[in-house]
Amino acid sequence: MKQIDLVAKGIRLVLEDNVLAVISEKTLDTASSAFHNGGGQKKTKAVLNIQVTRGYGDRLLHEDPDAFIVASAKKIGLTEDFVGMVTAAAVKNFALASKREGDIGVSVVATAADDEGNTCSHSESAGEKIQVQPIDGTINIIVIIDGNPTESALISSIITATEAKTAALRELDLRSRYSGDEATGTVTDAIVVAKTSRGQPIVYAGPASKLGQLVGYCTRTAVKEATMKGHECAPDRGIQKRLTERHLSIEKLASELAKAKFLGADQKTIKATLTNLLETDAVFASALFAASQISEEFEQGRNPREFGDAETLGQEFGELLSKQANAKRTGPEDCDGIDLPVFLKQALIALIRNRFSG
């Protein structure tokens, strides 16, 4: 059994098989979205993050999740007095961040990557339409506060931790699998915030407060580290993967460009050309990626007024970067039927057309 001391005396992190647990010698006050004993004003000496084991299917889990949670808790000698979350992530891949300032200390434990190194397979952007499929990944967070925030401040710390989680995902440019927008989390995230109740009452836990800054820093650090333990979220992941995450796969780009008759190339040829350029031409790859970023600004309606219209800017952008400023411009009629964002479409055609000019 692996054990690590946390920021507060008498509180340790325990890892045993599929159970990652925070165990306290004294009672903690908690607020959480945990399935087992979740909610507000719950008292416990243990907070568990339990990994769904292989062979335990979604159907069986959803029919009686408590049975699985209680059975797993027995591995570390617990029966009823605990708060429990469930995750598809590998708990052995946890990340821990702790920090103390004076009389307030915070430890945050986060999990995100599964046994295969996949992370946040159901990442989403809150507010979008989601069609849920079997869940393979999630982000679970345990926040331990060595201090005495009021009930409202404890709830506020959940908001601060959630903001910090989203900031960590955006640092890594994690994208929603449903829309390609910047991810805010996954569809099954859970959080537990617990306090020791030591010291004077703490009224504020927003991001600018002393407690909030500790919670924000530790959460952002732990979530980023836990997420990076999945190979698919490595900061240096390839350009093709980054584009695919934006719903701009090479297959899609090639399929749409093949509709441009003036290129005189079929989908297979265009795909091979794009793949080769992205793998061998850093300038082309960076130009296409920059075009996708600017295109997102237009799509989200936040383009600076100096940009003008997407179609004209896309043409000029692509021509400038491909050094084709004197080449024949592509008119709207040449792009009929190509289902790509206007700016990206014009920029991509300007970047690639000379490759098929003979």
Q: Band of the pLDDT at 119, cuts 50, 70, 90?
A: low
Lowest-confidence region among 162-166, 210-214, 234-238, 331-335: 331-335
| Contact (CB, 8 A) for 229 and 120 | no
Sign of torsion over alpha carbons 43, 66, 25, 149: negative
Q: Among residues of the chain, what percentage have pLDDT more than 70?
A: 86
Residues 46-102 have pLDDT tens digits of 999 999 877 655 555 566 778 889 999 999 999 878 999 998 889 999 999 999 999
| Contact (CB, 8 A) for 31 and 123 | no
Separation CA 184–CA 289 (nearest Å)? 21
Separation CA 214–CA 212 (nearest Å)? 5
Residue 215 vs residue 175, higher pLDDT: 215
Q: Which residue has the tokens 């003008």?
A: 308
| Contact (CB, 8 A) for 88 and 58 | no
Q: What is the pLDDT of residue 325?
A: 46
Strand partners for 83? 47
| Contact (CB, 8 A) for 298 and 311 | no
Neighbouring residues of 3: CB distance < 8 A, sequence distance ≥ 6 = 12, 13, 14, 15
Termini Cα distance of the chain: 67
Residues 181-209 have pLDDT tens digits of 888 888 889 999 999 999 999 999 999 99
- H/E run at residue 349: helix 342-352
**DSSP secondary structure letter of residue 122:** T
Residues 298-351 have pLDDT tens digits of 998 998 999 999 989 998 888 887 765 455 555 555 666 889 998 998 889 888
Q: Which residue has the tokens 């952007």?
A: 125
**DSSP secondary structure letter of residue 332:** G
| Contact (CB, 8 A) for 166 and 189 | no
Sign of torsion over alpha carbons 277, 283, 289, 290: negative
- Kindly list the structural domains of the chain, giving each domain's residue range(s) and its CATH number in brackets, ordered by start: 2-233 (3.60.70), 239-356 (no CATH)
Q: DSSP for 257-301, please give it.
A: HTT-GGG---HHHHHHHHHHHHHH-HHHHHHHHHHHHHHHHHHTT
Q: Band of the pLDDT at 1, cuts 50, 70, 90?
A: confident
| Contact (CB, 8 A) for 73 and 19 | yes
Closest CA to 202 of 128, 151, 166, 158: 151
Closest CA to 126 of 95, 163, 99: 163
- Helices 310-321 and 282-299: crossing angle in degrees, nearest 10, is 170
Average pLDDT of every residue of the chain: 88
Q: How many C-beta neighbours within 10 Å does residue 247 have?
A: 14
| Contact (CB, 8 A) for 48 and 69 | yes
- What is the maximal distance between C-alpha atoms in the chain? 77
Phi-psi bin for 332: left (phi > 0), alpha (psi -120 to 50), beta? alpha
Separation CA 354–CA 110 (nearest Å)? 49
| Contact (CB, 8 A) for 84 and 69 | yes
- Helices 342-352 and 250-257: crossing angle in degrees, nearest 10, is 80
